Amino acid sequence: MIKISILFFDLESELIKNFPDIKIYSIGYKTPESEVEILREWEKTEEKIIDIFLEVIENLPDKSRLVGYNILAFDIPLIIHKAINLGVRAPSDVQSIFFHNLYKVDLCQCVLPTNRYYMRSQKSLEKRLGIETKGCDGKEIPFHYEQGNYDEIELHNKEDVLSTEKIYNYLLDNPYNPFKII
């Protein structure tokens, strides 16, 4: 029997503007068995935290699941773009990491039918499921970065990763009915 490994992750960044110019502040990740690890741009560099995260993904067993919220539309494309444009990895290396024997589970995509195919934020889904989180609103992250309030960014990143795991487990534990609005 194949052991399936799961990696939950989330990144914090500037607000969406010109996609190539978005700066990644932190990347948080965990497995079901581990605590949340946070890679911090303010302690290393953007290039270094991307490289470390790519190494984490590379070391996952084949057929692992990479789980996040809106990762197919934002997180993964941003990491790929930044890794290539910042010279962290060659395009073929980055492509191999994300698109070879790795399943991507985007929880935002999973719940679209329950939202009448309207894309909602992770926070709105947390409220609907009764998942309580601590910390600031994601829209405040750039302000906290500019002010050097890195603890707020870390807390938000950690809470988003933990919430991602809770949402994933909720969807596994509850029979899925795409016509039922949760």
- Decide if 20 contacts 174 (C-beta within 8 A): no
Question: SS3 for 2?
Answer: coil
Task: Name every residue whose Cβ is closer than 8 Å to that of residue 153 and which is 6 or more positions away in sequence.
Answer: 12, 25, 26, 141, 144, 145
CA gap 110, 164 in Å, rounded: 12
Q: What domains are there in the chain, each with its CATH number?
A: 6-173 (3.30.420.10)
Residue 82 pLDDT > 70: yes
Average pLDDT of every residue of the chain? 88
CA gap 71, 68 in Å, rounded: 6
- 153-180 per-residue burial string, b: 16 or more CB within 10 A, e: under 16: bbbbbbbbbbbbbbbbebbeeeeeeeee
pLDDT-based confidence at residue 56 (cuts at 50, 70, 90): very high
Helices 76-85 and 46-58, packing angle to 10 deg:
120
Q: Where are the alpha helices (DSSP H) in 59-129?
A: 76-85, 91-99, 107-110, 122-129
Residue 169 pLDDT > 50: yes
Please give the pLDDT value at position 3.
57
Please give the pLDDT value at position 182.
47
Top-confidence range, 35-44, 55-64, 117-126, 137-146: 35-44
Q: What is the pLDDT of residues 23-42, one digit of tens each?
A: 999 999 999 999 999 999 99
Residue 87 pLDDT > 50: yes
Model confidence, pTM: 0.90
CA gap 66, 60 in Å, rounded: 9
Please give the pLDDT value at position 1.
41
Any idea which residue has 């809470």 for tokens?
159
Helices 91-99 and 76-85, packing angle to 10 deg:
160
**64-68 and 102-106 beta bridge pairing:** parallel
